[in-house]
Structure formats: structure tokens, C-alpha cells
Amino acid sequence: MHEDSQKKRPTESVAQEEPVVVQAGLFPGATQVVTQPADPREVPFPPLVRTQPLTEQSSLAACALPYQQELKLRGKSNYTVTCFLSDLKMFTEFMGPETPVGRITKEDLVDWLMKLKFGNKDHTPAPKTMARRVTFLKNFFSWLAREGVIREDPSASLILERPLPPLPELLFEEEIERLLRAAAEDVRCLCLIYLTLHAGLKKEEIMILKPEHIDLSNPQQPLVSIHFPPSTGKQHRERSLVLPPEFTDIVREYLGKYQHQPGETLFNCTDRNLNYILARAVKAAGIKKRVTLQLLRDTFAVRQLRAGVSFETLRERLGLSDEAWLESREKYRRLAFPV
């Protein structure tokens, strides 16, 4: 009787210690699970809800929703969450959705990777795609091991071979001076360039920066603090950075010219507008190279290393996770200290 009423009302809460909802799995055809975890980006610090207690006998399909929540709680980008869940779906189709996670071996992982790499003669995955899939396996099974669901991590000894990314063409010092002179015609552009060239901020960090995050109490050491909303799960990337003394006058002029309402961001525009602002200065400076905000951030990183800053300190100043640093570290080493 209870089962019949539950089937008729699949989205209603059931009166228990915690509300539960019958919810279909992430993958088509997957068995139904109980309760979908709250989205941590919409509900700050939600309780850790399990669809069902996971054990080594739990199926791959049963791990999908808890793994999705784990990725979001770790502050992974939407792109990373989408890619890792897509990889999990492909791996689940290869192994079978009801396969217990405790029975999966390293040989199973290698067989899947080899099938992806050589199974389709008409399509060979890019090296970067294969590297991401190894990263997914390591992330997924290390999570299961960390949670005590499985006793041994079958991905622990997998070798992650990351393809070397193409190196960006950095600006010469003379080109940087030309860019700064051109940007001086627009204090908004000059403020933007200083935040990337002298603080190494990412575009997404610039977009959420507010005037109250800039401390000018010591004009000789203006300080910029990076903060993230609690719902993003990116508190590990929060940090404070010192900029050159001239940034104090730049910010004061900018805030005097562009009035801000309480709570507004420093650049009250879209990220595309930021690209246009920079592009105009690049054109005025007569620079033919492709100059982006990321390129200026790369320049900041290389300058830091050449000034004697350690790799670990640079990682902290860039606000990179250990995972993201694996690829970035080699790129910056090659740029700063070419053989």
C-alpha cells in the first residue's frame, strides 16, 4: 500500500527524520534513487545527503548523484562537472550500470581507456581528452576510497600523461610599455590591466571584484582581496595581493569617474565588454600579437618566477588548485626558464 502511494506521488516528501523524494538517476535507464542532493551553488553549505549509503556493492549508477554533489561542493566549474559526468556515463556504459564499484580493477580502467583510444579507427581522441579521462578516473575512485566506499583505489597507479600545451606568445617589455601608455587614455582600461598584469587575477575574479575589496589605507601598498560567494565552494582560492603604489591613484581616479552603488562590482559590465576595453588599447598600441586578459595573467606569473618567487608561492598568488597547477606549473616553467 505504501509502495503504491509512493509510485503515484514520486515527487512528494515522505514523513521521516529527513525528507526523501523518489528521484530518477542521472543516466537514462538507471534505477531510481532516493532524494537528490541540494545544489550547493543555490543552497550555501547544504547537508551532505546520500541517495543511499554507498558501499563497495553499490553500482556505478548509484554513485552518479553523490559524485555530482561532490564535484559541486569542491567548487568545480560547470564545464568540469559536465565533462566528468559525461566520462562517468561512458565508463558506466562500458562496465554496465549495475557493476559494483568494489569489483572494478585497474585492468578494467586500462581496458576502457584502450577502447576509447583505439576502438574507433575513424576517430582518435585528442591527447588532451584522454588525459582528462584519466584525471576523471583518478578523481572518481580517489573520492570513493576517501569516503571509505572501496578499500583500494584501482586508479592510484594509473600514469597521467598530460600533453604539453602550446606556449602563448608573451609581450616584450617594450610592448607592455606601449600598452600601458595606450591604456592611460582610459582609466578603466588601465585599472583592468593593472589587476591582471600586476596581480594576476582571472577574468572571473575581476568580474566579482567590488570597490570594498580594495584597501587603499596604505597608498604605497594598495591591497586587493579576492572573495567568492559561499555557494560557489571556492573559498580555497581566496587571497590578498599587493599592487604597485601607482595603482592607488588609478583606482581613485576610476572610482571618481565611474560612480558605484553599494554592492555593485568594480566593473559593472559583461566579460565581453572587458575584452573590448582591452582590445581597443591593444589596437591603439599597435600590437599585432593576440593579447587577452589570460595572456596578461601569464605575464604576471612569468615575471614572478623570474623575480625569484617559488612555484608554491606563485600557485597561491594565482589561486590555483593542485589539479589545475599540474598543467600550469610546467607551462610557466617553460616560459620563464626556456632551455
pLDDT digits 0-9 by tens, 250-303: 999 999 999 888 889 999 999 899 999 999 999 999 999 999 999 999 999 999
Q: Which long-range contacts (CB under 8 A, 24 or more apart) does 263-271 make?
A: 263/210, 264/210, 264/211, 265/207, 265/208, 265/209, 265/210, 266/191, 266/206, 266/209, 266/210, 266/211, 266/213, 266/214, 267/188, 267/192, 267/206, 267/207, 267/209, 271/203, 271/204, 271/207
pLDDT number for residue 221: 97
Q: Is the dihedral of CA 105, 106, 111, 113 positive or negative?
A: positive
pLDDT number for residue 21: 44
Q: State which H helix or E strand residue 241 sits in.
A: strand 239-242
In tens, the pLDDT along 15-53 reads 344 444 445 566 665 555 555 555 555 555 554 444 568
Considering just the CA atoms, what is the radius of gyration of the chain in Å? 24
pLDDT number for residue 32: 52
In tens, the pLDDT along 247-258 reads 999 999 999 999
What are the backbone angles phi and psi of residue 267, rounded to the nearest 5°? Answer: -110, 100
In the chain, which residues have pLDDT < 70?
Answer: 1-52, 162-164
Identify the structural domains of the chain with CATH numbers, from first to last. Answer: 51-163 (1.10.150.130), 173-336 (1.10.443.10)
- How far apart are the C-alpha atoms of 290 and 126, rounded to whole Å? 24
pLDDT number for residue 43: 55
**What pTM value is reported for the model?**
0.63
Distances (CA, A) of 66 to 39, 63, 87, 235: 11, 6, 15, 21
